[in-house]
Every structure is written in structure tokens, then in C-alpha cells.
A and B are shown apart, each in its own frame.
Chain A
Amino acid sequence: MILVFDIGTTAVKGAVFSMTGRLLHKESAPVQHIPSRNSHVHETDPEEWIRIITELNQKLFQSTSLTAAVGKVQAIVVSGNGPTMIPVDKHGKALSPAMTWLDRRGIEESGIIKKLSGISIDPSFYLPKALWVKRHASELYEKTAFFLSCSEYVVMNLTGEAAMVFPGEGLENFIWTDELLDITGLDKNKFPPFVEPGSQLGTVTSTAANSICLGRGIPVYAGGPDFIVSLLGTAAVKPGRACDRAGTSEGINICSRVKIDDTRLMCYRHVIREFWNVTGIISTSGKALEWFRDNIYQKKLDYEAIDERASMIPAGAGKLLFLPYLTGERAPLWDPNARGIFIGLSLHHTIDDMARAVLESTGFAIRDILTVMEERSILIDELRITGAPAKSDVWNQIKADITGKRILVPEITDSELVGDVCLALYGMGEYSSLEEVSEQMVRISQVFEPGINSSIYNDLFGVYRETYRTLKPLFAELAAIQEKG
């Protein structure tokens, strides 16, 4: 049996799988973040993850069929969100709260790094965070033995070993390089060595065995960042297959034979090392629907009810369009000043028309990214969807109709957990390649083919793109005024 955990932003999930990849039991529990008055600061208590994992572990094996099986766990893999960084001492004990991937306090440090190296590194990435600690919390910096990512923090607490999963060539600036450590004057010893996903990191120590109730000596294999493991968990491991990580935001990851250089998208080595992963992230997808549900439906409907109503509305919502830039937009626009828009409103539009337009906006935002990919001659056959929105048939069909690509829904939509299982089986030597194990583990339960609504959406997509491009000059001015209040 294989035991896997995924540290999400709002929940930790744990599951037990059979060696053949069958999900035996799954549990999850919410994670709180630590409230802060500073909008750039976003923290979580890392010890809470360990507490939750202990709890989940107990629940997983409480279920009758598994009680006797505690001793049969043959591998553990942990994945997690990132760039989330935790300074730890030499025993792996957290010395401060985790600075999550939403934490942007390293803005100044990002500027310093840019000045020193000429390289732009987002304030949320590891280096600006570590440099922030050095500049603003020197005592903490001195005490820090290692700066760890969230999954590796958990791993160190299981095995006593510090490591950093290397996500892939092209993502060096996302983590760190020797050169950048030199330039910024950070102590290289505080940054653990790189390991490949699936490599064995150690075994469960007796201390961990006692505190977390795990069998001592179980091998722990390297997982990695959630956006990497979910490529395996959806079997987006062949050129033409894209993984659509749907959630509050939405990441489109296409497996590509060719490397591209386009500032609108990111491109780095795929976890299947012979390929490249070309990716673009939509800032607000599920979050837009949540906003609409909370503020416009006033929380009176749940998502199933909204789906049901939206399914009664014809495609195009009576020529009503929504641009989902409620937090600006990342790929492909990279415009922090972009704002949400309803356009095409008339007196006969209903609240449900507007909800449908919000669902459709995600489809248009995906197509905006796919269009860039196709401009770069990348083959796109299909989208393999994961995350909570994957449960919405209406939304899946809308995405298929708008993008013109079939949408595949895996049997298990917690693709991080499935990806972790792939890494465990590969690490154990059960399979000779990650591609093979991923193809074996991922089973597709539903396929949504592009349908008759595609032509309506073709026209609307043109308007969708033009609307943003036309209003772009207004956004910056408006943002300045909004800032002023």
C-alpha cells in the first residue's frame, strides 16, 4: 500500500492506495492561514500540517478494512503548494510561520535581485523570501539551518533528511541557483541539495513513527510541487495532452515536444524529462464563481444549484460576456490592473444569465492561453481536468465548446494524490518510467466533446479578446483612482 499526502492552500489531503493504484481511502482537513493586517503577508503554521497529517493518518487506518494494514504501507510521498517557504533548524523544526505562495513581502528583495543579477524573480518565489528573512529577521536567518518548501518540510519531519525536489530545467529562478545565491550573498549551506522527483529521500525515523503513528523505516520518496505531480496524476505525459488544474485559479499545462520562448507563458522541463511543460495560469476562475455566488447570489445557492440553473441558459447567455479579471490577469495578459467586466447587458438579462457568463469566462480565458500555445505551433489534443470544478458537467461542456478541445475527467480528480502514487511506484522500481506508471494509474471516467455551441463561442471569443484590448488603457487609470479611494 502507498500512503500519500498533499498540502494544499486551504486543505491537507491524505489517501491510501493499493499497489495497483486503487484508491482505498481518502481523508481531508482544512488548514487555517494566520490572519495578517499586512496585505503582502500570507502565513500558515507549518506545525499544523504535521498535526493534521497525524490526524488524517489515524482516520485513514481507522476504517475497518484498513485497520490491519498499517504495517503494509510500503511507500510514502508528499506533495504540496509552492513557492511556500519554511525556515527550519537542523532537526526540521519550523523556526517561524510558513511564508505561503501568496506571500509577497519580498517585493523590495525582488527588486534588489533584479538590480544585482538582471533577472526578474517574482516576490512570491523562494529567493526573495529568503533574502527578506536575511534583511528583516537576521536572528531568524542565523538560526536557520535550511529553507524548505512545504512538502520537503513534512518529509524532513518524517525522515530527518533535508532535500529540495528539483522541478525541472527552466525553473531554476523559481527556486535558486548557486550563481544567484552568490550574487545575493545568501549562505549556500542553508539551501538543501536538489533531488529528482521519485527518488528515495530516506525512511521514517523512530521519532516520527512514534509521533505520527507510522511504521518506522517506511521509505519516503520525493514528491514535489503540486503543479508538477498533477501532470502525472492526469497523465498529461504525452505531447498534445494538457492538464487543466481547475480551482480558485486555473493552470493550463501542455506537454510539448518543443521548448518555446514566449514571455506570455512559462516553459520548463516536463516531469517526463524528454518533454517540456508549457504553462499559463488564469488568476481567477473558480474564485470568480465563488465571488458571484457570495456577492450576487448572496450565498443563497450552492454550486450544484448554480450549475443546474446555468445549464438552462443558452450558450452565450443572451450575448452577455464576462471578463474574469477580478484580481488582474496573469497569462497571457500579465496585467495586474485588469478588472472584471460584464459587457452586453440589457434589461432582459437575469442573474442566471450572468452566472452562465461567469462560467463561460473561464472557457474564454483558457482559450486565450491555448491560442498563444497554438501560435507557437504547440499541438493541443485535449484537456485533462482536475480539481473541484471538474465535478461540474456544465462547466466541462462549456470549456469543451469554447476551446474546441475535448475535456477528459479522470476517475480521481485529486490529481496530486494520484501523481504522488505514480512517484512512489516509480521510486520503488515497479515501473521503468514515469510515463508508463502515469498511463497505468490514470483512468478517464468522462469525456466532453466540443458540441454545436462552438460557433456561437467563436464569435464571442473575438469580442472577449477585443474587449480587454480596447479597455486596457482605461484600466491603469482606473486602478490608480481605485487605489486612492
Chain B
Amino acid sequence: MSLLGIDVGTTGCKSVAFTPDGTILATGYREYDIQSPLPGYAELDSAAVWQSIQETIASVTALCKDDPVQAVSVSSLGESVVPVSKERKILGPSILLNDNRGAEYLPLLSSLIDDEELYNITGNTLGNHYGITKLMWLREHDPVLYESTDYFLNWAGFVTFMLGGEPKVDFSLANRSLLFDINRENWSDHLLKISGIERAKLPDAVPSGTMIGEVSQTAGRKLGLSDGTILVAGAHDQCANALGCGVTTAGVGMYGMGTYLCLVPAYDFRKESVGMRALGLNTEHHSVPGHYVSFIYNQGGSLVKWFRDSLVLGGQAVSPEELKSIYRNLDGEMPEGPSSLLVLPHFSVTGPPDFLSDSSGLIAGLTLSTTRGDIFKGILEGATYYIMESVQNLSRVDIEINQLRAVGGGSRSDLWVQLTADILNRPIQRLEVTEAGCMGAAIMAGTACGAFSSMEHGAKAMVRIAREFAPDPHMHSRYMERFEFYQEIYPLFGAFLKKI
């Protein structure tokens, strides 16, 4: 038997079939493009993405006929929803979080509910990337679509629905709408009322890992899934990733090293709101029932990509092999130990605690002996210092992180992971399987179909650690000397950075 984990992202989707001991049987991947029919618009062509998802499923099932899929679950991007009819028809595109539509409703919402109350209900702070303003925009600007829509489904819920499941959303994805009451674990009457969104158009919310139906005959035949294959409520990708890394108990955190660096600590009860808001931390249900997570993030891989594309390649295209050798060379060019630079990684809008949109990047401390490798290391350090600022304050809200699990493209770099362990002063484990989202979904699927007694059990059975990076106490103290100066820059400098 096998477990199918599907991961739907902003630019591509992946299906992976696993054995219950975590071995990959088959993988399917498709990419798609973000559509921008008008300036400020960013959306996915729902039908085209669904087509891609189906292709990845079919390609995987074709390769594991001897180990038929017993259960399916999905990890997906957060805020975007797909408008569908009860008859499982796709009715329109799926608006992405960075689409500007809906921003006009922010003043109205903030006049109707204050930040504290909003945080207490939803665990989030008002912003235009959540689902609520997009739905308000649709209701007013595209009433035909809005009215004809039976359900607005997050991508994970959409996939299980299209495969034959009931229209459901799990708590973590429901959270991304800003309409969800995380205390009552149901849609918030108050937020529905002030936004004017109809409850009936939203699916019921269930915990991740809940069985929500079986694959329909039509879908099963088309995609190589047998009748009765169990469909399982998935989760927001960050939560599925964390589960796929084995982050199932308090004290463990995921360290995502993708375009963003994203540290996701798990904890087992809701933390006090005032402290959380002061740190700019959200609260969201984890995919592991009874647990919560927060997201500490900022630019990461995007800075590496900037350095690589702008400074190293100067806009030239290179083959993947050449890219590998470029990274190898850069590794060799980096100094041992801390660089002599201070880099403020505000090259784009920043993450918590400050969510700065009017700051800018800074590289300070350059001398005639500064090399390209120094700058590269300085960038990695600065990106990590940004995360460290939040990490050092977590004790204020009683969140503990004793160890981290690294995933994402950046985690392939030994140097980067070690530097992170040294700065954050925590051991970091790198995993064998890098498809954490699909792995997390497969663990949810396996738990629902009885292959595992619990998600913790599933994670123990499936997640394998490839290598552990222990922090070097001497290095840590050297980095902390520089971190002190790093922390002085923005307070000194914020006002001028805004001018430029």
C-alpha cells in the first residue's frame, strides 16, 4: 500500500506516493504561471492548475500499481480560494495573496474591529493578503461569480472535493481567510457579519487529518485511484511542511530555507495575545491536532538568488550544472567564521516583528580586502540575524525551540545550515526527504486510514534525519558580538532608510 501526498504551491504542484516507512515510490511535478491580466492582479487559472494536479496524480499512480494508494491528503498555499459549484464545476480564477484587489476594504474593516479583538478571534493582524478582502471585492465587483459560487474552497479542500470528497476546509487553511475563530474552531459570526460574507459559501471546518470522503468512481478511473481510496483533510503548506519534518511536539521547530526563511515553532496551547502581537507573531492551528504554530519569516533564498543573479551572473543565464559549480566556488570564497560585514536584509518587505515596507537593504563594513565571498556570507548572516531577533524574544511568550528541522533549497548548503545552527544556537537536523509538504500530507493521510495511530507516530515512522548540525558555542559567541551591532543599525537608521 502507499500514501499519496499532494502539494499545491503558487508556481507548481507535486504529487508523491510514499510507503508507510517514508520511502518515495513515485513523484510527479508540474509548473504553472501566475496570471496577471491587469496591473496589480495576481491569480491562478484554476482549471489549468487543476489539470496540472491531475497530471501529477496520474503520473504517480501509473508508477505504483503494485502499491495502490490507500489514502490521499493535500498541502496547499494558504490564502487563495477557488470558486466552485456543488456540481464540482470550477467557476473562476483563484486570486493570490499578493493581488492588490481588496485593499480598499481595509479601512472599513479596521474601523469595525480593533486589532486586539481581531487577533483574539483569528490569531492574525489585518492585511490584504488574507482571504477576507478578496471575497469582499468579488462580492462587490464580480457579483455574478460571487452569487453563483456555492463554495469558496482553499486549494487543499478544492483538490479533495474535486476527487469526490465533501467540501471541507481544515483549521489551518480556514485561518488564512481572517474569518475563522480559532478559539471556537468555527467561522466567526462577528467577522462574517462585518464583512458581509455568507456563511453558506464557506465549507465546514474540520481538523487536519479528518477523513472527508472517498475518491469518486469518475475521478478514480481517470487518475488511477481505486474506489474507496480515502480522502483526508490536509493543511496549510507551512503546517504540512512542519509535520513532514517531524515537528509534532512543543520545543521543535521547522526551519524552511526557501525564497523566505521561515521558522515555524510548534506549541501545545494558545499563547497570550498581547505578547504575541508585540512580536508580530500569528497563531494558527498546526496540522497536528492540539498544537499551534506561528510564522517567523523574512527574505532568504530571494537574497541568495539576488546575489547570484545580480552580482555573480550579472543577468546571464546558466545551466543547472554551472549553477552547482558557482555555488561550490562561492562556498570556497566565504570566510571561515563571521564575515566582517553587517547586512540589513530589508531588500524587500520584511516579516515579523516589524513588517517594514519602507526600509531598504544595507551592506556595511566594506574595506579594500572585502571579497565577494565576504558579501555572500554577510548576506546569509544578516538574513539569519533577522530571524534571530524574533527567536531571542520567544521566551517572552513562553515558546520554546530546542531543535530545528531544516527543509527547502537552502538546506542543501552545509555552510548555510551550520551558520544558522551557530547563530540561532540550536541543533539543526536536515532530512533525507526534501518534499516535506507531500510528506506531511502523506502522514495525515496515513493517520486517517489507520496506518498510524497518531500523527506523531506517523512522523516517527516516515521522517528520517540525514544529518545533524550542532551549534559551535565559540562561533555562537562570535556571531552574537556582531548581532549586537546588527540590532543597533535599524533603530539608528530607520528614519534615513525611509527617506531613500
- Cβ of B361 within 8 Å of any chain A Cβ, yes or no, is yes
**5 interchain pairs (CB within 8 A)?**
A326-B367, A340-B366, A341-B362, A351-B315, A474-B489
Q: Are A346 and B361 in contact (CB under 8 A)?
A: yes
A295 in complex: contacting residue of B314, B365, B370, CB < 8 Å: B370
Q: What are the residues of chain A within 8 A of B87 when measuring CB–CB?
A: none
- Cβ of A68 within 8 Å of any chain B Cβ, yes or no, is no
A482 to B342, CA, bound (A): 11
- Cβ of B66 within 8 Å of any chain A Cβ, yes or no, is no
Among all A-B residue pairs, the 8 with the closest Cβ atoms: A340-B366, A345-B361, A342-B363, A341-B364, A482-B340, A344-B500, A344-B360, A339-B365
Q: What are the residues of chain A within 8 A of B368 when measuring CB–CB?
A: 284, 287, 291, 326-327
- Give a binary string over A456-485; 1 marks a CB under 8 Å from any B CB, 0 the rest: 000010110011001101100110011001
Which residue on B lies nearest to A342, using beta carbons?
Answer: B363
Q: How many Å from the CB of A429 to the closest CB on chain B?
A: 47
Contacts beyond the supplied A321-B500, A340-B364, A481-B481: 19 A-B pairs with Cβ under 8 Å:
A287-B368, A295-B370, A327-B367, A341-B362, A341-B364, A342-B362, A343-B360, A343-B361, A343-B497, A346-B360, A349-B306, A349-B310, A351-B310, A351-B314, A463-B500, A478-B340, A478-B364, A481-B482, A482-B367
- Cβ of A38 within 8 Å of any chain B Cβ, yes or no, is no
- Cβ of B311 within 8 Å of any chain A Cβ, yes or no, is yes
Identify the interface centre among A321, A341, A460, A473: most chain B CB within 10 Å of its CB: A341
Q: What are the residues of chain A within 8 A of B497 when measuring CB–CB?
A: 343-344
- Give a binary string over B70-102; 1 marks a CB under 8 Å from any A CB, 0 the rest: 000000000000000000000000000000000
Q: Are A481 and B500 in contact (CB under 8 A)?
A: no
A252 to B311, CA, bound (A): 32
Q: Are B367 and A463 in contact (CB under 8 A)?
A: no
Q: Given contacts A319-B500, A343-B500, A351-B311, are A471 and B372 in contact (CB under 8 A)?
A: no
Q: How many Å from the CB of A57 to the closest CB on chain B?
A: 35
- Cβ of A116 within 8 Å of any chain B Cβ, yes or no, is no
- Cβ of A446 within 8 Å of any chain B Cβ, yes or no, is no
Q: How many Å from the CB of A95 to the closest CB on chain B?
A: 32
Q: How many Å from the CB of A298 to the closest CB on chain B?
A: 7
Q: What are the residues of chain A within 8 A of B361 when measuring CB–CB?
A: 342-346
Within 8 A of B (CB), among A312-355: 319, 321, 326-327, 339-347, 349-352, 354
Identify the interface centre among B337, B340, B366, B485: most chain A CB within 10 Å of its CB: B366
Q: Are B310 and A478 in contact (CB under 8 A)?
A: no
Q: Are A470 and B364 in contact (CB under 8 A)?
A: no
Interface size on A, residues (CB 8 A): 39
- Cβ of B488 within 8 Å of any chain A Cβ, yes or no, is yes
Q: How many Å from the CB of A260 to the closest CB on chain B?
A: 30
- Give a binary string over B477-492; 1 marks a CB under 8 Å from any A CB, 0 the rest: 0000110010011001
Q: Are B499 and A463 in contact (CB under 8 A)?
A: yes
Q: How many Å from the CB of A33 to the closest CB on chain B?
A: 16
Q: How many Å from the CB of A247 to the closest CB on chain B?
A: 15
- Cβ of A444 within 8 Å of any chain B Cβ, yes or no, is no
Q: Are B485 and A481 in contact (CB under 8 A)?
A: yes
Identify the interface centre among B348, B368, B482: most chain A CB within 10 Å of its CB: B368
Q: What are the residues of chain A within 8 A of B337 when measuring CB–CB?
A: 485
Q: What are the residues of chain B within 8 A of A284 when measuring CB–CB?
A: 368
Q: How many Å from the CB of A360 to the closest CB on chain B?
A: 13
Within 8 A of A (CB), among B360-409: 360-368, 370-372, 375
Q: How many Å from the CB of B315 to the closest CB on chain A?
A: 7
Q: How many Å from the CB of A471 to the closest CB on chain B?
A: 7
A485 to B337, CA, bound (A): 9
Q: Are B310 and A474 in contact (CB under 8 A)?
A: no
Q: Given contacts A296-B311, A463-B499, are A340 and B367 in contact (CB under 8 A)?
A: yes
Q: How many Å from the CB of A285 to the closest CB on chain B?
A: 12
Which residue on B lies nearest to A322, using beta carbons?
Answer: B366
Q: Are A346 and B347 in contact (CB under 8 A)?
A: yes
Q: What are the residues of chain B within 8 A of A344 when measuring CB–CB?
A: 360-362, 497, 500
Q: Are A471 and B360 in contact (CB under 8 A)?
A: no
Q: Given contacts A344-B500, A481-B481, are A295 and B372 in contact (CB under 8 A)?
A: yes
A406 to B17, CA, bound (A): 71
B363 in complex: contacting residue of A341, A467, A478, CB < 8 Å: A341
A327 to B368, CA, bound (A): 7
Q: How many Å from the CB of B260 to the closest CB on chain A?
A: 12
- Give a binary string over B202-229; 1 marks a CB under 8 Å from any A CB, 0 the rest: 0000000000000000000000000000
Q: How many Å from the CB of B205 to the closest CB on chain A?
A: 36
A339 in complex: contacting residue of B311, B360, B366, B489, CB < 8 Å: B366
B493 in complex: contacting residue of A347, A354, A470, A477, CB < 8 Å: A470
Q: What are the residues of chain B within 8 A of A471 when measuring CB–CB?
A: 364, 489, 492-493
A246 to B302, CA, bound (A): 38
A474 to B485, CA, bound (A): 7
Identify the interface centre among A295, A298, A346, A462: most chain B CB within 10 Å of its CB: A295
Q: What are the residues of chain B within 8 A of A298 when measuring CB–CB?
A: 372
Q: What are the residues of chain A within 8 A of B302 when measuring CB–CB?
A: 347
Identify the interface centre among A349, A350, A352, A471: most chain B CB within 10 Å of its CB: A471
Q: What are the residues of chain A within 8 A of B499 when measuring CB–CB?
A: 462-463
Q: What are the residues of chain B within 8 A of A350 when measuring CB–CB?
A: 310, 314-315
A474 to B364, CA, bound (A): 10
Q: How many Å from the CB of B110 to the closest CB on chain A?
A: 28
A344 to B358, CA, bound (A): 10
Q: What are the residues of chain B within 8 A of A466 when measuring CB–CB?
A: 496
A349 to B348, CA, bound (A): 11
Q: What are the residues of chain B within 8 A of A481 when measuring CB–CB?
A: 340, 481-482, 485
Q: What are the residues of chain A within 8 A of B310 when measuring CB–CB?
A: 349-351, 354
A349 to B360, CA, bound (A): 11
Q: How many Å from the CB of B385 to the closest CB on chain A?
A: 14
Q: What are the residues of chain A within 8 A of B348 when measuring CB–CB?
A: 346-347
